[in-house]
Amino acid sequence: MSQKLNIVLFGPPGAGKGTQSTFLIGRYGLVHLSTGDLLRAEINAETELGLRAQGIMSRGELVSDDIVIGMIRNKIDANGDTKGFIFDGFPRTKAQAEALDALLNPSGNPITMMLALEVPEEELVKRLLGRGATSGRADDKDESVIRTRIREYEQKTAPLKDYYSAQKKFKGIDGMGSVEEITDRLVAAI
């Protein structure tokens, strides 16, 4: 059986990960795993996990590694026959990246590449406040929460560029321009 296509779609909050995932899953027949979406589903269902995550997310901080790694493990196990995965918003810490390698590598289908959307901070704030005006997402409405999310990204998540560069899997992608232009850049990189 041919190698699976396992992509980490990376970038700060508002970089366009969720937006671009929608196009890539259709084009390549991949399963979309967004830890943000999985956490919001738990909150909406008022599960115990959702109640624990809700306050953390509303402050713009990262949810604990244990919670998100457990969620991802369940989803990988439930989709064994897929052509591959797009990991959107995961991993966000070195512990999460190491856990993901430990889950995938024994199957012989490791992460293929990390595609990192690069967007300046003021554009991120503008996009997220724009979404907050219409989406009802509490963490998109308040500029100080948005800036906390960007700081969390810089401190805990951005160092993962080095983790994937060391494995020769990192590719930076210009995330400025129309949604279609950015999709074209991602497809060219894949």
Task: Tell me the closest approach of the beta carbon of residue 167 to ligand B4P, in angstroms.
Answer: 19
Here the tokens at position 119 are: 């967007």
The end-to-end CA distance of the chain, in Å, is 20
CA distance 30 to 103: 18
Provide the 3-class DSSP secondary structure of residue 159: coil
Backbone φ and ψ for 172, nearest 5 degrees, come out as -80, 140
The yes or no reply on residue 131 touching ligand B4P (CB under 6 A) is: yes
CA distance 62 to 36: 10
The yes or no reply on residue 68 touching ligand B4P (CB under 6 A) is: yes
CA distance 8 to 190: 11
Residue in 5, 7, 8, 15 binding ligand B4P, rule: CB under 6 A: 15
CA distance 142 to 129: 7
CA distance 36 to 12: 13
Residue in 7, 24, 35, 183 binding ligand B4P, rule: CB under 6 A: 35
Task: Tell me the closest approach of the beta carbon of residue 48 to ligand B4P, in angstroms.
Answer: 17
Nearer to ligand B4P, 61 or 98 (CB): 61
The verdict on whether 171 is a catalytic residue reads no
Cβ pair 112, 171 in contact under 8 A: no
Residue in 76, 85, 92, 104 binding ligand B4P, rule: CB under 6 A: 92
40, 94, 137, 185: which one is catalytic?
A: 137
The verdict on whether 17 is a catalytic residue reads yes
Nearer to ligand B4P, 60 or 84 (CB): 60
The verdict on whether 185 is a catalytic residue reads no
- Catalytic residue ranges: 17, 92, 131, 137, 149
Contact positions vs ligand B4P (CB under 6 A): 13-19, 35-36, 39, 56-57, 60-63, 68, 89-90, 92, 96, 127-128, 130-131, 139, 149, 179, 182
